[in-house]
Amino acid sequence: MRLVGADGQQIGVVDTREALRQAQELELDLVEVAPQAEPPVARIMDYGKFKYERDVKQKEARKKQSRTGLKEIKFRPKIDRHDYATKKGHVERFLAGGNKVKITIMFRGREMAHTELGRRILDRLVADLGDTVNVESLPKQEGRNMIMVISPTKRFLEDLAKRRQRAADGGCVGEPSSDGAVPATDAIAAEPPATDVIAAEPASATEEG
């Protein structure tokens, strides 16, 4: 198997018994992180510590989800390019937090005669955000405001969670590349089986401008 040391450095391809011996000398565990690779990849680590840190991260993620809600961003119908880009960035940040976002276009005075300008902004925003959003409430006029509610798609949140997990687990390894290096992977170790080698699991605030 291809062995990675406790410090994340590649040791190389070694016999399974030798990998176990090295792990035992360090009083650590041998965790298989890429069983489908050729040869399989294993890493020396403190599995108990790894599992504890993983559980803490998952608990924190659940806490963040529980704090999500409905956010609001307000636009003017004649907003300039710079302000539009800034507010779109706020919308993207709210969506990345798992929040629904209420988009409000505020009309004043004679602007009420040109409500189509507000609709163009909403249509542009949805087009710019692409497949990261669902339109939960179509644009509708409420007094001097035009309102639309959007929410992040499930796929967008899942992809975002995977990227964050990969960043947090930066030390894990995966299948070797063509040059023999072992890149990072999001494989997560599973509960230890009866053997000495541990198998891996398959891989409403308001902001106004």
Q: Which domains does the chain have, with CATH numbers?
A: 2-45+169-203 (3.10.20.80), 67-156 (3.30.110.10)
C-beta separation of 104 from 74 below 8 A: yes
Provide the pLDDT for residue 64: 66
pLDDT digits (tens, 9 = 90+) for 47-97: 888 888 888 888 887 776 655 588 999 999 999 999 999 999 999 999 998
Q: pLDDT tens-digit profile of 174-205?
A: 444 434 444 433 343 444 443 344 444 443 44
Closest by alpha carbon to 39, among 175, 172, 171?
175
Least reliable range by pLDDT among 9-18, 99-108, 145-154, 191-200? 191-200
- Helix (H/G/I), strand (E/B), else coil: 77: coil
Task: Please tell me the predicted confidence (pLDDT) of residue 3.
Answer: 93
The pLDDT value recorded for residue 177 is 41
Q: Which of 45, 9, 17 is nearest to 29 (CA)?
A: 45
Q: Is the pLDDT of residue 150 over 60?
A: yes
**Displacement of CA 87 from its chain's centroid (Å):** 21
38: three-class secondary structure by DSSP: coil
Label residue 36 by pLDDT band (50, 70, 90): confident
